[in-house]
Chains A and B, each alone.
Chain A
Amino acid sequence: MKTLVLGLGNPILRDDSVGLRVAQEVDRLIPANPDIEVGLDYWGGLRLMERMIGFDRAIIIDAICTGASPGTLHLLNPDDIPTQRSASAHDVNLSTALEFGYQAGAHLPPAKDILLIGIEAADVQTFDEALSPEVEDALPAAVEAVMTALSDAGENE
């Protein structure tokens, strides 16, 4: 089962970088495995869907803002993300992008095999390379969540 572990975020926009930090740590921890690719990226929507082409399974790590306490982990499936009327000003939402990819016949992980790990952010509007303390403190648990997900699929054996 070819698995993509992808950290998303902007490295210079404070807590938005948390997904990148988690993915980098996971990359350091797991032994080389041709079936697991760890990557860093920046885009949601169509670009994120296109990045998943060729994989059977994906674990996406990103900052999220839901109003929960900063550092809270959210384990989500693409179907859990509320889909509303309008896409981003520049893109489509992930569910729409995935549907577009499925309809176009792209080899993509089924929605049930896409795990979104969201780490609640405190601040994604200040240019800074450091994380907020509460989000920094959540890094080990977020890394553990990725490792557990990989382990559940027997991928890190």
Chain B
Amino acid sequence: MKRISIDPITRLEGHGKIDIFLTEDGEVANAYLQVPELRGFEQFCVDRPAEDMPNITNRICGVCPEAHHMASSKALDELWHVDPPPTAKKLREMFYSIFFATDHTTHFYALGGPDFVVGPNAHPSERNILGVIKKVGMDIAGKVLKMRHDGHHLIKMIGGRPVHPNWGLPGGVSRGITEEQREEIEALGRDAIEFAKFSLQLFNDVVLGNPDYVSLITGGLFTHETYNMGTVDENNHINFYEGMIRVVGPDGKEFAKYDAKDYQEHIEERVEPWSYLKFPYLKKVGWKGFEDGMDSGVYKATPLSRLNAADGMATPLAQAEYERLFDTLGGKPVNHTLATHWARLVELLYATERWVELATDSEITGEEFRVLPTETPDEGVGSVEAPRGTLTHHYWTDERGILTKVNLIVGTTNNNAAINMSVKKAAQGLITKDVEIKEGLLNTIEMAFRAYDPCMACATHTLPGQMPLEVTLRAPDGEVIEHLAQNLD
């Protein structure tokens, strides 16, 4: 069996690589996403005070520390059986909306967008944020920089520190905001709404206006019919911060709706010998392998999944975009993986609208932003929608609040099975006997997993050295037949 290895990865501790195994006939036999193992997180946490967790767990991920901080703070609420006051919940959700808007911006412009704006077959030296500027114009650079700057500035202002907030406590947050700060948050939020509208317009003009891209999105190569998961409010509208977990089937009908604390009744985690990352699946459907369909417990938890799992958006502009997406792509559910990029922009608009809604809420500058816990801690589950999927933190402690056990299901883990299926399907569609394996073709396969915005290592950066794309063709005995490394220099 021959093997192709795609290593798209920059940092040497890596986010993962794709191995594609070929048959003797040159057809794709299987494809695997390999991820590096980070060791010892649970041992690191056990025997520490639980209230340290919002500041420890936000260190396990260099991409979405704010999501871990928030899930962890909510787990502490449950652990100490304390309900934060309305001002605290609204402050947390506003902070979280700002984070979401900033994160989705980065993904679209730096990562997902270049594939469409510049094109999947463009030379890699062009297929990046610089290529986007070249194609769309210099104005966009300033807009993206401002959006990111504003987001980071507000996250620091509200959360106490850049990147790693030290703000969440059991029962609320450590400080509120002043009227002056509120005014700034509102003003920058209104700018952010305009930025989100601009981004959707750009997607409309460049991607939806190009029939080739539309057929790429809606073609069978990037389509999977699985269950979809997302958090919804009492109206079944998307909410990133709190609500019930809702799962809809490949037929679009509600399959389950549950409180996050009951996740173990609904989700089982499977171990495969070739991957350190577990494969969660729907317990009540069961594991039937890496398969589509109603009988397979595979589910997705992505921006597109959240749109599929909800009945709508809670804000007016995002609701209109939500309707446009489903009208354009043929109704619910949409199972085209690449439409996740569009869904991400709909969520960007929702996040900015929600940011302003909360910044103009009469309770947001309230002074009751924490309730002191008085109960004895025992066990708590906290859940939020991270940009990459439903994020669950589960802690157990002794009566002093010292951790005895920790379990996390991070956003990308939910999508592990689906990512592998997507990569395999794209590879099978593109790599066949006698097809020359070129850069553009490998990029198209990578697009299958890039749509999920996967966060593999939840690690960090290490000096920004990069590894080249490596394609290794191996004979059945492991001997290298051909080795292709594509450096740009």
Contact = CB atoms under 8 A, between A and B. Distances in A.
A3 interface: no
Q: Which 5 pairs of residues, A with B, have the shortest CB-CB distance?
A: A85-B124, A104-B141, A10-B460, A65-B12, A127-B44
A106 B466 CA distance: 25
A65 B465 contact: yes
A64 B110 contact: no
A85 B486 contact: yes
Interface in B443-462: 443, 446, 450, 453-456, 459-462
A46 B148 contact: yes
A91 B110 contact: yes
B461 A8 contact: yes
Interface residues of B, number: 65
Interface of B: 8-13, 15-16, 36-41, 43-44, 56, 59-60, 62-63, 65, 106-107, 110-111, 124-125, 128-130, 133, 138, 141-142, 145, 148-149, 152, 162-164, 439, 443, 446, 450, 453-456, 459-469, 486-489
B124 A86 contact: yes
Given A41-B163, A82-B466, A86-B124, A91 B106 contact: yes
Contact of B459 (A46, A64, A99, A124): A124
B460 A9 contact: yes
B11 A44 contact: yes
Contacts of B43: 127
Given A13-B460, A50-B152, A84-B466, A92 B128 contact: yes
A125 B439 CA distance: 30
Given A88-B15, A106-B145, A83 B461 contact: no
A116 interface: yes
Contacts of A92: 110, 128-129
Contacts of B44: 12, 127-128
A86 B40 contact: no
A84 B484 CA distance: 13
B145 A104 contact: yes
A106 B39 CA distance: 39
A104 B463 CA distance: 24
Nearest to B114: A87
A105 B13 CA distance: 32
Given A43-B163, A50-B149, A90 B111 contact: yes
A43 B465 contact: no
Contact of A90 (B39, B56, B107): B107
